A = this chain, B = another copy of it.
């Protein structure tokens, strides 16, 4: 059972009667004039992070950031959150204070309140955050239509590059900072709520998250690799270290940029707001995902994207 089958299994087994449940960045429930958005994310020691790589304050900040990003991806405003914390016995009491001090600073920065939680000692540390937000008009993954532009709010691959450097024993790099301290795109998310057809945050890699949006919308896409924002110092470092640039840009995770689909008319309006974003391709009726470089298709199956292609191939037959 791969992830998509698992989500389909759960959606089938657990119908949600109060709104939109499983399958988007957050659930959506109408409450009077607005919609309540709720999302939950877990971070586990030695799966999602290693304690030696970042401070407990950074870890607290990151656990909040990735949840706020889910609300931003719906075009919503995060309001408050709940934390379930498993904390290793071996850590000293000061460590707990360091964690909550970092959490408090992050909460103030993003203007969200801690509303409750549960705490226990545990062998490995884990952090389960549930965040509550609201929106007047949530942007779902499923709203893209053929002929939309596809755009992203900023470069991808930087966090994955930072992780590679960290695992190689480096300590100081702007990319390592990107990895440790991701920035949810709150303001852009709110602005995009007025223009975008569909939106998702980039947590698991550009192609995987894009394929989720396309799948939900029932469309395909053509992306031009040349249009992707790849900063020169990123490109230089990849060449220097002999890292696969395209793999990092297309399949590296934890960028927390927003990816959205937008009609050409709305895009021309969005341009006038001055918000920085990058159009990287367009949606197609044909339900497959292609990445072109100088007009030639890249073999994206290299990045683990067979299943999406297989699925659309089956439908064509």
A interface residues with partner B (beta carbon < 8 Å): 1, 6, 9-10, 13-19, 21-22, 26-27, 29, 31-32, 38-42, 44, 46-48, 79-80, 82-86, 93, 96-97, 100-101, 104, 107, 113-124, 126, 128, 130, 132
Contact = CB atoms under 8 A, between A and B. Distances in A.
10 contacts: A18-B80, A18-B113, A21-B80, A21-B115, A38-B115, A40-B116, A42-B85, A42-B119, A44-B122, A118-B128
Given A31-B32, A104-B13, A1 B116 contact: no
Given A40-B83, A116-B21, A47 B16 contact: no
B15 A47 contact: no
A80 B13 contact: no
A79 B114 contact: no
Contacts of A39: 82, 116
B84 A121 contact: no
A14 B114 contact: yes
A176 to B, nearest CB: 23
Contact of A42 (B9, B26, B79, B120): B120
A34 to B, nearest CB: 10
A103 to B, nearest CB: 8
B82 A117 contact: no
A100 to B, nearest CB: 6
A118 B38 contact: no
A115 B23 CA distance: 9
* Number of identical monomers bound together in the oligomeric complex: 2
A47 B85 CA distance: 13
A70 to B, nearest CB: 10
A4 to B, nearest CB: 13
A204 to B, nearest CB: 12
A48 B10 contact: no
Contacts of A31: 31-32
Given A82-B130, A128-B84, A130-B40, A47 B122 contact: yes
Given A84-B128, A113-B16, A118 B40 contact: yes
Contacts of A42: 84-86, 118-120, 128
B116 A44 contact: no
A18 B115 contact: yes
B40 A113 contact: no
A40 B84 contact: yes
B13 A119 contact: no
B16 A118 contact: no
Nearest to A79: B18
Contacts of A121: 47
A240 B44 CA distance: 44
Contacts of A9: 97, 100
A132 B32 CA distance: 17
A178 B139 CA distance: 45
Contacts of A97: 9
Contacts of A86: 42, 44, 126
Contacts of A85: 42
